Amino acid sequence: MIRRRWIFAAVVGVSIGFGKAGRVCDLAFSDCPGRFSSGTVKVPNEMIWLDSKIPFCNEFVQITNGNVKPPSVIFIIDNSGSMDENDPLVARFDVVATLLDNIYTFAPSAEVGLVVFTRRLSFDHRENPFFKTAFPADTAQHDSFVPLTALNKIFADGRTGLDTLKAMLKHDDKGNLTYVTKLPASRNNSGMGRSNTRDGTDISLGFMAGKVAMKDSKSDKANQYFVFLSDGTPSTPDNGREGMINEFIAGTGVPTTFTVFFDTQNNTPVAPSTIVEMTGKIKLNGYSLSNAKSAFWAIDMPGSQLQNLLQTQVIGNVLSVPAKPKAASLAMGDTTFRTVGLDAKNYLFPRHVALQEDTTRLQLDYTYSYIDTTGGLQVPKEKIVPYALTIVRSPNAPLPVGMAQSCKEQADISLFHDGQPITRVTADDGVLEARLTMPDGSLCQGCKMQVLPSSSKSKDHEDLMVAPAGGYLTGTFQREISASPTLGDGRLQHLPLDSIVVLFVSPENALDRVRKAFPYTDMATVLNLGRQNDLAKSRYIPTSPFEPQWILEGAPTLQATAFSATDVWRVLQAPLAPQDSERFIGVTVEASRAFMVDIHVFTNLGQFVNKLTFVINQDEFQKLAKGVKGNTRVLKILWDSRSRAGSLVGTGAYVMKTTVTLIKIPGIAEDNAIRTDYRRVGVLRRL
């Protein structure tokens, strides 16, 4: 028997679980996690860690002290019809509602008012006494606003000021407010669309109402603010107000103002000159020292841009006492991680944190420190700000804006036999070595590997004992075919159709796993040559010279491939009877795969007598009778003692030279196995 090892050309059936092949990533925040707070964020599947650095929320690092009067903020919001085009998602109301939550977190007693305008103001005090008129000295006009209301105020019905203000911002999908006046006809002059509540843009009316509302502020003037949201320049004021259309530009008596201009029609939006001029005059109008902080911005994505802008640029200016990040905690389920320090931008946790396979729920608690000067004393205080976030790993999900990634290659698994790498396992490979190589060349502390069959019908699995060796971890195991495995015996027992799977799961994170499947071929390099008599005893029987002199014992459909037209044979479909077997000399070939046969017969003096050369390919090989081991096949090749010309040879000694070559099978069996047999045989002719 000849056994040879072969090397396979390509990796086949490699599968790497959980994420893109060969890569795992840390998910990092490039923006304040408050941006995603109380929401669900989908991230790509290769995200398996949360980075150990999490940014401060710098837009939320100012807190109102107990001895400082709370800020007063009035939102002046343009709700003209053109806003449907420049703010189709109605961010002007939704983002402000979210911003109220943020203000409440840091300054629950802050006062907030709402002025919503088109050609007229959107509310009417006749419908709800909560609204306040913008014309207290003119009983003929009923344009109204939501007055300054403390966010933590409790009304008689139990609702808070925060809840009430957010209710006033509710709207339909067209931007029409739920509580817009139902009495527009009595407020709109004739000829101006008496039932319409969305036409026109009277910015001066909005600012006039804002100034009336601010008169009720309990804050110092330096802590009073307008936040102005609009998409354009003034147009079509109501009858009688034409002369006041540009009054707002003067900025007279206006507190610190932050303006956001909406323009989704241009790739590079630019604020109109009216807003630029107005902001410049407000900075210098002498209302308060903080008026110099007034600013304007032009945006073309009202949703995300507006939220980020108001949080980062406006809130930090409105909440007036600075605070510093001190520490943070991160809770995931029953486990809580705490910071070990901070750098210029981030809280630093001791290590990155493993995400869950599908959904990870995070609770971040940020601790800020500040100085309270109540009673003239400087008292250090702290405030904890919570952020809740749900992260969902999803195939092909894009990385969200405000998040970043840091990726690395996964570990690599390779399989060896006799010190040589293999990509397919065969019956010859009884002892195998699995190697685990980390991408940075380090040795993985506490790492293990497991081997198992690919089929669920095969119940065996074995944990490998691994040891460091030359920059990798190595573990050996034995394998064999068996339908009755014994777990834990160090021998992998599998079925013939199974692939051999090597699995690595990181001890730090179960999502960092590598699975490689190596196909198994129940094929060994086996080649044996046996005898079929040493002496042929036969009578002189007349035969046709055209009848084949060679016989193959096999299935009736067996099709061997001849090397020349003169190489012919016939197939014997049934085994020879004992009395007939004495008539033939030949060989028995036992092989593990397709093979080629070359037989030459000579006289004892070296004279040529006959020959046969043919090939049994892999498909025809499967038609042959099975050998004793089951993974080999057997073929008998018989010579009927005639010469190449068809005549019977005489009694005497002959030499039969037989060479059998196993054929290469690309990717499975790359070497030839050759066996040559010289045999002296005899022929006895009887009358």
Q: Tell me what the mean pLDDT of segment 181-205 comes to.
A: 78
* Cα first-last separation, the chain: 41
| For the ranges 37-41, 416-420, 425-429, the one whose mean pLDDT is highest | 416-420
Dist. CA 366–CA 369, nearest whole Å: 10
Number of C-beta neighbours around residue 90 at 10 A: 21
Residue 24, CB half-sphere, CA atoms under 13 Å: how many? 24
Instruction: Give dist(CA 672, CA 687) in Å, integer.
Output: 45
CB atoms within 10 A of CB 666: 9
CATH dotted code for 527-686: 2.60.40.4070
Average pLDDT over residues 245-260: 96
Span 69-96, mean pLDDT? 91
Q: Which CATH architecture has domain 23-59+324-408?
A: Sandwich (2.60)
Class of domain 71-318: alpha beta
Decide if 301 contacts 264 (C-beta within 8 A).
yes
What Rg value do the Cα atoms of the chain yield, rounded?
A: 45
- Which of helix, strand or coil describes residue 238? coil
Contact (CB, 8 A) for 518 and 502? yes
Q: Rounded to 5 degrees, what are φ and ψ at 14?
A: -85, 130
Residues 354-382: what's their mean pLDDT?
A: 82
The secondary structure of residue 50, as a DSSP letter, is E
Q: Where are the domains of the chain?
A: 23-59+324-408, 71-318, 410-521, 527-686
Q: 345: helix, coil or strand?
A: coil
**414: pLDDT confidence band, cut at 50, 70 and 90?**
very high
Query: Taking Cα atoms as reference points, which of 34, 60, 43, 58 lies closest to residue 363?
Result: 34
CATH superfamily of 410-521: Immunoglobulins (2.60.40.10)
Torsion region of 236: left, alpha or beta (phi above 0 gives left; psi -120 to 50 gives alpha): left
Give the start-end residues of each E strand in 134-230.
143-150, 224-230
- What are the pLDDT digits (tens) for 567-583? 889 898 777 777 778 88
Cα 59 to Cα 307: distance, rounded to the nearest angstrom = 11
Is 59 in contact with 105 (CB distance < 8 Å)? no
Residues 6+ apart with CB under 8 A from 180: 122, 123, 197
> What burial class does residue 416 get, using C-beta atoms within 10 Å of its C-beta: 0-12 exposed, 13-18 middle, 19+ buried?
middle
Among 55-59, 217-221, 501-505, the minimum mean pLDDT is found in 55-59
Alpha carbon distance 585, 181 (integer Å): 113
Q: Rounded to 10 degrees, what is the CA torsion of 251, 255, 256, 259?
A: -60
Band (pLDDT 50/70/90 cuts) for residue 455 is confident
Structure confidence by residue, pLDDT tens digits, 296-354:
999 887 766 787 778 767 776 665 556 788 999 999 989 999 999 999 899 999 999 99
Residue 366's nearest CA partner among 34, 49, 41 is 34
Average pLDDT over every residue of 624-649 = 87
Matching residue, tokens 């998040």: 403
Looking at residue 488, what is its pLDDT? 86
Distance CA 125, CA 142 (A): 7
440 or 514, greater pLDDT: 514
pLDDT > 80? residue 281: yes
- Asked, colleague to colleague, whether 23-59+324-408 and 71-318 share their fold, the answer is no
Cα dist from 586 to 232, 530, 536, 548, whole Å: 103, 9, 9, 15
Instruction: Write out pLDDT tens, residues 499-516.
Output: 999 999 999 899 999 999
Beta-carbon contacts of residue 660 (< 8 Å; ≥ 6 apart): 527, 529, 589, 591, 595, 596, 597, 598, 674, 675, 676
- Counting Cβ atoms within 10 Å, is residue 440 exposed (0-12), middle (13-18) or buried (19+)? exposed
Which amino acid would we find at residue 130? F
Phi, psi of 43 (to 5 degrees): -130, 160
- pLDDT, residue 322, reads 60
Lowest mean pLDDT among 170-174, 187-191, 206-210, 436-440: 187-191
| DSSP H/E element including 337 | strand 335-338
Token output for 166: 């957010």
pTM of this prediction exceeds 0.85: no
The answer to whether 325 and 342 have CB atoms below 8 angstroms apart is: yes
Selected residue with higher pLDDT from 220 and 206: 206
Please name every residue paired with 590 in a beta bridge, in sequence order, or none if there are none: 528, 634
